[in-house]
A = this chain, B = another copy of it.
Amino acid sequence: MEKLTRKEGRQSTERAALEEFLDGQWWGVLAMGGVERRDGRTRPLAVPTLFVRHEDRILMHGSTGAGAMGANAVATSAAFCVTAMDALVVAHSTFDSSVHYRSAVLYGDLQPARSEERAMLLDRFSDLLLPGRTGEVRGMTPKEIAATNVVAMPITDGDWVYKVNDSPVKEPDEDTDVWAGTVPFVVNYGTPHRASWSSAELPDSVRTLVASGRPSSVRSAPV
């Protein structure tokens, strides 16, 4: 585990806690340094992307055509940041106000998945994002598999940080009569909206997901 320079109390060093958190989330921001742009300038790149954890790797996917997850995606070094905002912390002062959150940052080299495991990993990707869906639709075609790149970042101990702030609202050491407390953020599914050209009944995969109550509850983490 990489040590933080401050607020050590917020840090969890348990791999199980990291994995439980990652398994409850489904998107993050991939950051890479030193990406050259068309105008010749070098800048960091930041890309929001869906992900799943599969064993000891973070999997991301994208078109093979272009972009951060494309066929030429070889980054010597990247960071992947996954964040859940859980509550607004309203303290007696603006200074002590903050948010409850959970956030993981993983560091590592991006590695394109081997072509022979790509099909398996893409199905795994779909299965973790919407459990049961791969059993309801046709499989990916060879053309679709060829068009989709899978990029992996290994989860390496020593190269990740997982922070949780769920501290109680700070009790003031001054006289105050203002309200203080927390306001939770609650993420839920809304009512599924059927595509205009589709006439099928709501499938089990979507029904189960919506009934689960919140997007991450299949891979759940309490607020």
Task: Give chain A's interface residues, CB within 8 Å of chain B.
Answer: 2-3, 5-6, 27, 29, 31-35, 37-38, 42-48, 50, 63, 65-67, 77-81, 83, 85, 87-88, 90, 92-95, 97, 99, 101, 103, 105, 107, 122-123, 126, 129-130, 133-134, 136-138, 140-141, 144, 147-148, 168-169, 171, 176-203, 205-206, 209-210, 215, 223
Closest to A84 in B: B48
Not counting A29-B29, A178-B203, A183-B190, a sample of 20 additional A-B residue pairs whose C-beta atoms are within 8 angstroms of each other reads A5-B67, A6-B67, A31-B79, A43-B79, A88-B129, A88-B209, A92-B137, A93-B140, A95-B140, A136-B179, A177-B200, A179-B194, A179-B198, A179-B200, A179-B206, A180-B200, A181-B195, A182-B192, A183-B210, A185-B189
Give every chain B residue within 8 A of A99 (Cβ-Cβ).
Answer: 27, 50
A206 near B63 with CB under 8 A, answer no
Chain A at the B interface: SS class: mixed
Asked if A48 contacts B200 (CB within 8 A), the reply is: no
Contact yes or no, A148 B95, CB < 8 A: yes
| Inter-chain contact B126/A94, CB cutoff 8 Å | yes
Of B48, B80, B130, B200, the residue contacting A178 (CB under 8 A) is: B200
Bound-complex Cα distance A189 to B70 (A):
38
Q: Which of B66, B123, B205, B223 contacts A5 (CB 8 A)?
A: B66
What's the nearest-Cβ distance from chain B to residue A33, in Å? 2
In the complex the two chains form, what is the Cα distance from A209 to B85 in whole Å?
Answer: 16
B201 touches A6 (CB 8 A): no
Give chain B residues whose Cβ lies under 8 Å from the Cβ of A87: 190
The docked-state distance in angstroms from the alpha carbon of A44 to that of B105 is 11
Contacts of A90 in B (CB 8 A): 130, 133, 192, 205-206
